[in-house]
Structure 1
Amino acid sequence: MPHPGSTRRTLAAILGANALPVVGVLALDWTVSTVLALYWLETGVLVARGGVEGLFAGRPPATEAGGWAPFEDLADKRGGVVLYDALGPLYPRNVPVAVGALWLVLLVWPLGGVGLSVVGPDRLLAPGSAPTVAVALAGIVVSNAVGLAAAVRRGRYDDRPVHAAIPQGRIVGLVALILAAGAFANPPETATVAGTSLVFGVVVAVKLCLDVGAFLAARGSVPVLSRLAARTQESAPEEPAHVPTGDPAARVRTDRTAVRLRAVGLGIVSAVLPPSGLVAFGGAFLTWAFHGTLAAVALALAVLAVAVLVRVVEQDVLFGHLEYRIYDEGVLAYDRLLDAPQWFVPTHDIADTRTSDGLLGHRFGYDTGVLRLQRRDGGDARLVFLDDADRVLATVDR
C-alpha cells in the first residue's frame, strides 16, 4: 500500500506540471500550438521511460514482441544482471518488448511531430518561446528520470511484466489529443479570444485527466481503471529449469572471440538492412544533399559502428557467458553472467547427436563447432561455439 504522503506528493507534482502550460500562456506568450509541441515532446520522454523501466520487470512479457522485434532471440534468456545494487536486476528477456517501445519513438513518434506541424498552422513555437519550452522539457526529463529510479529501486515491477511499465493508454491518449487539438492551434485572425481560450482549456483539462487517470490506475485507487490497466499486465511466472544435483562430469565454455567475430558480421549485415539500413541510406542521402560527401560518409560509418556495437553486446549476452555442464543425468546450459540455468536435456531424452561446423568454422582460424542434441519429441538443443565439438560429443556419449 503506497504511503499517503507519497501519493499526495505525486499528485501535487502532476498538478504542478499541468499548471505549467497555463503559466506559459498567461505569462510567457505561449500559443496553443506551443503547448501541443511540449506535450508531443513529453510523449517521447514517456515512451523512452517506459522502455527503460520495463527492462527491470521481474515477470516474463505477457505477450510476445512479434517476429519483427529487434533482438527477439533475447526473449528466451533466463535470469538478470545487476548493474547497480540499488536498482535490482535488469532482465535481457525484456529487451525485445522494451526496444519495440523505443522503436515507436524512433519511427512513429517523429511522424506525430510531422502531423502536428501540418494540422497546426504556421507557428509550432511562439516567437521567443524556445528557451522557456526547453526549460520545461528539461523539467519533464528530470522528473521522469527521478520517477524511473524510484520505481525500480522500490521494486514496483518485481512481480509484473514489461508491459506494465509502458503506459500505452496514456501515450495513445496524448497522441490523439495532440493531433485532434492541432487542428485548432493558432486559429485565424477572425477567431474569438473566447473560442481560443475554450480550446486551450479543453486541451489542458484532458491532459490532466490522462495523467491523473494513469496515476490512479497504477496505484489501484480506482478499480475500473486498474482492471483496464491490468489487461496487458498479466503473465505467468517463469518455469524454473531443472538443475541436477552433484558436480558435473565436465564443464565446457563457449569461445567468446568467435562469438564477437560473428557479432561483427551480423552488425554489418543489419546496418544495411531495414530498419537500420533505411536510417543509414536515407540519412546519408539527405546529409550528402545538404552538407556534402564527407558528412554523409561520416554518418554512414557512425550508423555502422552503432549497429556493430549493439550486435556485439547482444551476441555476448546470448552466447558469450554460456557454460555447458555435462552430467550423467543430462546436459545443462548455464549462463554465468545472468547466474541462471537456461535449459536442460535429460540423457534419456536424447535420441541422436551430431556435430557440425559453426558459422565461422575454419574460415577465420577458429575451429568452433556445434553439437546438436536431437530430442525424442522432435525438438533439439544446440551447444554452440565449441572449441572441440567432437571431444564434447565423446563426453556426452560416455
Structure 2
Amino acid sequence: MAPPRYGDASPSSPRAGIGFLPVLSANLLPLVGVLWFGWNPETLLAVYALELLLLFPLSGVKALFAGRPPTSSREGGVLSRSESDLVDKRGSVTIHDRLPPVYPRNVPFATAVVGGGAWVGVFLLAPLSEVVSVLDVLARPEAVVSVAALVVGQVGETAAAFLRGDRYAERSPYALVEIPARQAMFLACFLFVVVLGGATVALAAFVLVKLLFEWSGFRADRGGGGRLTGWLAGPDSEATREALDVPDGRPAAEIDVDRRAVVAAAVWRAVTTTGPFYVTMAAMVWIGGTAFVAEEASLAVWVGFGLFGLALFGFMLAGDVVEDTLASGWLTYRRFGGRLVAHDRLTGEPQWAAAVGDFRDAGVVATRPTDRYLGTRTIAATVGRGDDETERAFGPVADAERVVEAFDLPVESTTLPPLDRRFVWAAVASVVLTAVGVVTVVVTPLGPSTSWLLALFLFPIFAIVPKGFWTLAHS
C-alpha cells in the first residue's frame, strides 16, 4: 500500500491528549529529579535549554516528509528559503517502503532550521551562562540522561503521531520549521528576564512556560489551538500546485542535463557566493559559544567549539551544493510536437511545460565559469507574459547546438565570448593582495591582538572584489 500524500492523508490519528503523553512525561522526569533526588535547579534549566537546541535537527528531519507545498510568500516567518529554486520542485522520492516519501523541495527548510538552531544556541547560552556553567552540567551523568529522555520523548511522539499517524501528508515544511524557531526565540527572550530573579525563580517560571510552549507547539503541529498556538505555527500555508499539461506518447526529442557540470556549478556558487558568509557565521558560533560556556575556556573547549563551527560550515556549504544539484541534476528536456516539457528523472514528475514557440530573448549564459572549462553550455530564455512571465534555463548540457535545434530556441550562437584577461588578472591580484594584507595584520605587530577575529568577520567583504572582477571577465 502506497503511503498517503498531500490531499489524501488519513484523518485518523491519536487523540491530542494521548499523543502528548510521551512529551509530558519526558518533561516531568527532570523535575522529579529536582524534587526527590536533590538535583540543582540550575541543572534543570540547562537541561531544558539543551533539549530545545536538539529539537532543531529533529524538526529538519520532520520537514523532509511534509507533503503540503510551501507558500511562495513567507514574509511573516522567522525562517525563509523563498530564494531557493528547489522550493518549487514537484514530486517526491521513496527511500524505504516503511518511510513516508521525502520531498526534495523541503531540503532548503531542513538545512535552514539546522543553521538557525546554531544561531539560537548562541543566544540561549548568553543568559543561561549567567546562572549555570553549561560544562558542569554536561559533566553530570544525570543531566545527560535527562536531556536524552527529553529528546527520546520528542522522537517517540514524532514516530508515533507524525509518521505513523500520516499527519506528514497535510503539513507544510514552513510550519514545521517555524514552530521550534518561534519557541526558541520566545524562550531565549524569556531567559534574559528570569535570569534577574535567580535560579529558583527561573526554574519555576521556565518549567511552566516550557510546558505551555510544548503543548502549544504540539497543538500547532496539528492545526488547532488558540492565539499562542497560531503564532507558533506561523503564517498559514494554503499553497496548491496545478497539474501540468503533458502530452501522451513518446517524445520526439529528449536531452539530459550534464550532471557533472551541475555539481561543479553548485560547488562554485556555494564557495563564491554563500561560503564567505558561512565562514563569518561559523566563526561567530565558535567564538560566542566558547565565551558563553565558560568564563576561562580551556584549550579543549576552544577546539571543541572550533570543530563544531567547522562542521556547521561544512553542513551549510554541502546543503547549498545538494540543493542546487537536486534542483536540476536529473532534468530531461522532452519535446512532444509543439510542447516542451522539463521532466525530473529523480522524482518522476514534470517540472514545467511550455509551447515551443513561446520562448524569446534566448541566449547562452556567459558568466558560468564551469561551462567554459567543462565545455558545457547553459541557455536562458524568457517565456510567458505579464504575471506569468518567467525565465527558464536549459542546461548545463553537453551539446548546446542540439538543444537549440531540437527545441527551436531563438539563439544566434552557442559560442562563449572570450575572457577579458585584464579582469582575470585583476581578480587574481585582488586575492593575492588581500591575503598578504590579512596575514601581515594578523601575524605581525602591525595589527591589534584580535585582528584575526576582525579578519573572520570581514571575510564576506574580502570576497566581493575578486568575485566582481571574475564576473566582469566572463561577461
- TM-aligned CA deviation for residue 275 of structure 1: 2.4
Q: What amino acid maps onto 1:102 in structure 2? A: V
Residue 259 of structure 2: aligned partner? 256
2:374 is the alignment partner of 1:369:
no
How far, CA to CA, are the matches of 2:60 and 2:326 in structure 1? Answer: 19
How far, CA to CA, are the matches of 2:311 and 2:234 in structure 1? Answer: 41
**Aligned equivalent of 1:145, options 137, 152, 155:** 155
Written as runs of structure 1 = structure 2, the 5 A alignment for 1:1-398 is 7-62=16-71, 64=73, 69=81, 72-118=84-130, 120=131, 123=133, 130-150=140-160, 151-166=162-177, 167-168=179-180, 169-186=182-199, 196=200, 200-219=203-222, 222=225, 232-269=235-272, 272-279=275-282, 283=286, 290=299, 309-351=318-360, 353-355=362-364, 359-360=368-369, 363-364=372-373, 366-375=374-383, 377=385, 379-397=390-408
Closer/same/farther in 2, CA of residues 159 and 347 from structure 1, 3 Å limit:
same
Q: What amino acid maps onto 1:89 in structure 2? A: P
SS at 1:273 equivalent:
helix
Closer/same/farther in 2, CA of residues 100 and 19 from structure 1, 3 Å limit:
same
Q: Is this contact kept in 2: 1:216–1:225, CA < 8 A?
A: no
Q: What amino acid maps onto 1:80 in structure 2? A: S
Q: Is this contact kept in 2: 1:263–1:308, CA < 8 A?
A: no
How far, CA to CA, are the matches of 1:258 and 1:162 in structure 2? Answer: 29
SS at 2:254 equivalent:
strand
Closer/same/farther in 2, CA of residues 295 and 34 from structure 1, 3 Å limit:
closer
Q: Is this contact kept in 2: 1:218–1:229, CA < 8 A?
A: no
Closer/same/farther in 2, CA of residues 235 and 245 from structure 1, 3 Å limit:
same
SS at 2:381 equivalent:
strand
Q: What amino acid maps onto 1:145 in structure 2? A: V
Q: Is this contact kept in 2: 1:78–1:341, CA < 8 A?
A: yes
SS at 1:382 equivalent:
strand
- TM-aligned CA deviation for residue 264 of structure 1: 3.0
Closer/same/farther in 2, CA of residues 290 and 322 from structure 1, 3 Å limit:
same
How far, CA to CA, are the matches of 2:139 and 2:305 in structure 1? Answer: 32
Closer/same/farther in 2, CA of residues 179 and 345 from structure 1, 3 Å limit:
same
Q: Is this contact kept in 1: 2:27–2:150, CA < 8 A?
A: no
- TM-aligned CA deviation for residue 354 of structure 1: 3.6
Q: Identical aligned pairs, as a percentage? A: 30
Q: Is this contact kept in 2: 1:34–1:125, CA < 8 A?
A: no
Aligned residues: 382
Gaps of 5+ in 2: 1-10, 291-297, 410-475
- TM-aligned CA deviation for residue 303 of structure 1: 7.1
Q: TM-score, normalised by structure 2?
A: 0.68
Closer/same/farther in 2, CA of residues 42 and 299 from structure 1, 3 Å limit:
closer
How far, CA to CA, are the matches of 1:250 and 1:225 in structure 2? Answer: 54
Residues 180-210 of structure 1, C-alpha deviations (whole Å, 9 max, x = no match): 3322334xxxxxxxxx4x6644433333233
Q: Is this contact kept in 2: 1:65–1:96, CA < 8 A?
A: no
Q: What's the RMSD between the two structures over aligned residues?
A: 3.9
- TM-aligned CA deviation for residue 236 of structure 1: 2.0
- TM-aligned CA deviation for residue 56 of structure 1: 1.5
Residues 105-151 of structure 1, C-alpha deviations (whole Å, 9 max, x = no match): 11122221122213x2x556878972111001111222222333331
- TM-aligned CA deviation for residue 358 of structure 1: 7.2
How far, CA to CA, are the matches of 1:38 and 1:296 in structure 2? Answer: 19
How far, CA to CA, are the matches of 1:251 and 1:136 in structure 2? Answer: 57
SS at 2:31 equivalent:
helix
- TM-aligned CA deviation for residue 262 of structure 1: 2.1
SS at 1:343 equivalent:
strand
SS at 1:275 equivalent:
helix
- TM-aligned CA deviation for residue 35 of structure 1: 1.5
Q: What amino acid maps onto 1:38 in structure 2? A: V
How far, CA to CA, are the matches of 1:301 and 1:219 in structure 2? Answer: 36
Residues 306-362 of structure 1, C-alpha deviations (whole Å, 9 max, x = no match): 566444423321221110002222211111112111111212423454445572466
Q: Is this contact kept in 1: 2:63–2:173, CA < 8 A?
A: yes
- TM-aligned CA deviation for residue 156 of structure 1: 0.7
